[in-house]
Amino acid sequence: MNTQLEGKTVSGISQNLKLTNTHYFVIICTALGFLVDSLDLYIVAYAMPFMVTEWNIDAVTNGVLASAGIWGALIGSLSWGPISDKIGRKWSLVLTIAGFSVLTGAIYFTTNTTQFMAIRFASGFFLGGAIPIAGVFTSEIAPFAIRGKLTSVLGCFFPAGLLCASLISLFIAPIFGWRAMFIVGALPVILAVVCIKLPESPLWLAAKGRQEEAIAVLRRLGASEEDLNQVILEKAKDEQEKKTKKVSAAVLFGPKYRKRFAFTTSFYFFTNLAYFGFAMWLPSLLNTVYGIPKTETFKLTLAVACVAILGRAYLAWAIEKFGRKSMVYVGYGVAGAACIMLMFVQNLTLLIAILIIMPFFYEQGAGLTVSWVPEFYPPEIRATANAWSNSAGRISSACAPIIFGFIISTGAVFGIYLVMAGCFWLLCLLSKTIGIETKGKTIEEIEAA
């Protein structure tokens, strides 16, 4: 690779910058975007035990209600990737966070399951775009040497949303009722307003031929005038090419990207099938299957959330040391073994201990949907590829609560652990056979792999 030439490009300069306050501002906003998206998702799981009592809901209906927002998120994932590639990362993030926040607050006024499902489906449309866009935004603005670490930090905030949801269910719902939980879920609209101050992704601007704007963002990110002058010098030569460069999403199914796209969609699909089936059912599983009182259930899920955050934090620390594939092998390998143990454990105390410890490992694998998947694609199609891969995960995460609910209704609870183990170990195999190790590589080097 010609590093001298790379240093004259927007991408080359952006990937070699030192972190500045502007970098931190973007990272904080995108990380909070992860948190509020997760909070919005998990609020439903924690409201379910109260809704089951009030509306007399059976296990299958419980699963359908829990997945309503995820079906909306599927449509959102398919839509917001192309939208983001067209209007940019910043405004896509603003619109998605504002959209799901307002609609989540509207759930306070629902009086039946039909109204609840309709509003959750609509809010899901915006939920489906927020996380893929936040992940791509951070990946594009991060220096390549710590790109995996920074995007993994975002992942830490997803289980933090679970922690916040459990705290809300513990302290808000018993006093003010379950509907008040959704009023809290409307507060992230404040974050949407703050995100208006974010800079746009310089890589996206350059890919759109908006060189002057890209240079202005690079200056805001701390680029030297010497480097910026080099970009300006090459602008005249490349401007027409960049303006006319259009990449169709159809390339994802062509010879260059189809294996990558098959891998990233599979990674999302099987991760979310196990992850969300378990996470969305955990409060009800502990309460209705294992007979643990609601208050104790919420305390246990609080412990699960704390361990999950530790798992994501470990990923952020270890990802640039050991690489992406190693994190899959250890995280999902051990989590799969824990699931097999859960199939046979009879002692409730031991079972709860495994349920609490297991998230430390599976979160290491799940976090790679944020830090690894976007790295497979160039800026021109990154948001679309990431969001469409995410849409595969939305399909499985929408089906998972229903599938898990059906399994639980048959009394064969061990079946949910068997499904989870199968997903985790299959992902280890896929990572070994068709995954690409991206540790320490620039976007250009990954593109050439």
1.10.443.10, 3.20.20.140, 2.60.40.10, 1.20.1250.20: CATH of 3-448 = 1.20.1250.20
The pLDDT, as a whole number, for residue 398 is 80
Place of tokens 């306050």: 21
What's the CA gap between 69 and 439, in Å, rounded? 34
Cβ 78 vs Cβ 14: under 8 Å: no
What's the CA gap between 292 and 286, in Å, rounded? 6
The pLDDT, as a whole number, for residue 41 is 83
Cβ 276 vs Cβ 401: under 8 Å: yes
The pLDDT, as a whole number, for residue 237 is 47
The pLDDT, as a whole number, for residue 96 is 97
Give residue limits of the domains in the chain. Answer: 3-448
How far, in Å, are 161, 309, 348 from residue 286 at the CA level? Answer: 19, 20, 10
Alpha helix positions (H), 188-287: 189-194, 202-207, 211-220, 225-244, 258-284
The pLDDT, as a whole number, for residue 9 is 83
Which of these, 388, 69, 369, lies nearest to 258 by C-alpha position?
A: 388
Radius of gyration of the chain (CA): 22
Q: pLDDT tens per residue, the chain (449 residues)?
A: 333 334 468 888 888 899 999 999 999 999 999 999 989 988 888 888 888 888 988 877 877 887 888 889 889 988 998 899 899 999 999 999 999 999 999 999 999 999 999 999 999 999 989 988 998 999 899 888 888 889 888 888 988 888 898 889 888 988 999 999 999 999 999 999 999 999 999 999 988 888 889 999 999 999 988 888 877 655 544 544 444 455 667 888 888 899 999 999 999 999 999 998 888 788 778 888 888 887 788 788 888 889 999 999 999 999 989 999 999 999 999 999 999 999 999 898 999 999 999 999 999 999 998 889 888 988 788 888 988 998 898 889 888 888 888 898 888 889 999 999 999 999 999 999 999 999 888 777 787 66
Rounded to 10 deg, the angle between the 379-409 and 258-284 helix axes is 40
Kindly state the DSSP code that residue 377 receives in the 8-state scheme: S
Kindly state the DSSP code that residue 146 receives in the 8-state scheme: G
The pLDDT, as a whole number, for residue 1 is 36
Q: Token pair of 217, please?
A: 């963002």
The pLDDT, as a whole number, for residue 228 is 85
The pLDDT, as a whole number, for residue 232 is 61
Centroid of chain to Cα 19: 23
What's the CA gap between 79 and 127, in Å, rounded? 11
How far, in Å, are 17, 31, 211, 324, 356 from residue 282 at the CA level? Answer: 43, 24, 49, 28, 11
Cβ 158 vs Cβ 276: under 8 Å: no
How far, in Å, are 71, 242, 245, 371, 375 from residue 383 at the CA level? Answer: 20, 18, 16, 13, 11
The pLDDT, as a whole number, for residue 5 is 35
How far, in Å, are 86, 125, 192 from residue 94 at the CA level? Answer: 15, 14, 5
The pLDDT, as a whole number, for residue 275 is 92
Alpha helix positions (H), 221-257: 225-244
Cβ 285 vs Cβ 417: under 8 Å: no
What letter represents residue 431's amino acid?
Answer: S
